[in-house]
Amino acid sequence: MSPVISANLFRTSDIRDPSDLATLPLLHPWSNYDFWGSWFGEYGISVSRGEEHFYDLMETAIQAAMHGLGVAMINPEFVVDELESGRLILPFPDMTPSISSYHYIYPKSKADHPGVLNFQEWLRKTTDTVCPSIPVQRDSLDRLNIIPLKRTTARSTSRIGRSY
């Protein structure tokens, strides 16, 4: 997750460092999690937050940001077209922490299975090419959080899960 802002709002605002973002309306993509608090906290930024707007849909927060209503906390991978076209910008592109992560889980007994190996290789290639225009922390790409699942029941399944 990273702040995104319309180019026009960025040009007309006096944003010099990340704490200045709190002077603008903060747009939240979901009302049930404070991504802004997590982002400011990740970088040790203490701010007095002013106006904030909460949306039930990420798409609504993205649209609000594109129309200059504030700065939204969005996963940059969801706004690639908007970033490439200049409708949105990342004011601090090097400040994109991993607030949530994905884990690929499979039975340890299947670690050498061709399907598992092919999928792992696809993940590595995809993460390198899917969003080349967006800065991504290399550290997170080098370790894909690929974890063998220990067999805990008589029936073991493979799955892809998301943790928060």
Concatenating the DSSP letter of every residue in 76-110 gives GGGGHHHHHHTSEE-SSTT----SSEEEEEEEGGG
Residue-level pLDDT at 63: 95
Q: Are strands 2-6 and 88-89 parallel, antiparallel or unpaired?
A: antiparallel
Residue 106, pLDDT score: 76
Q: Residues with Cβ < 8 Å from 152, sequence gap 6 or more? A: none
The number of helix segments (H) and strand segments (E) in the chain equals 6, 8
Q: Strand pairing partners for 3? A: 73
pLDDT for the residue numbered 7: 93
What is the model's pLDDT at position 67?
96
Residue 78 contacts residue 58 (beta carbons within 8 Å): yes
Measured over all CA atoms, what is the biggest interatomic distance in the chain, rounded to whole angstroms? 61
Structural domains of the chain in order of their starting residue, each with its CATH number:
2-89 (3.40.190.10), 101-163 (no CATH)
Q: Mind listing the pLDDT tens digit of every residue in the chain (164 residues)?
A: 889 999 999 999 988 888 899 899 999 887 667 888 888 888 888 888 888 898 888 899 999 999 999 999 988 888 989 999 999 999 987 776 555 555 667 787 888 889 888 887 887 777 666 555 444 443 333 344 444 433 333 333 333 443 33
Based on the number of CB atoms within 10 Å of its own CB, is 155 exposed (0-12), middle (13-18) or buried (19 or more)? exposed
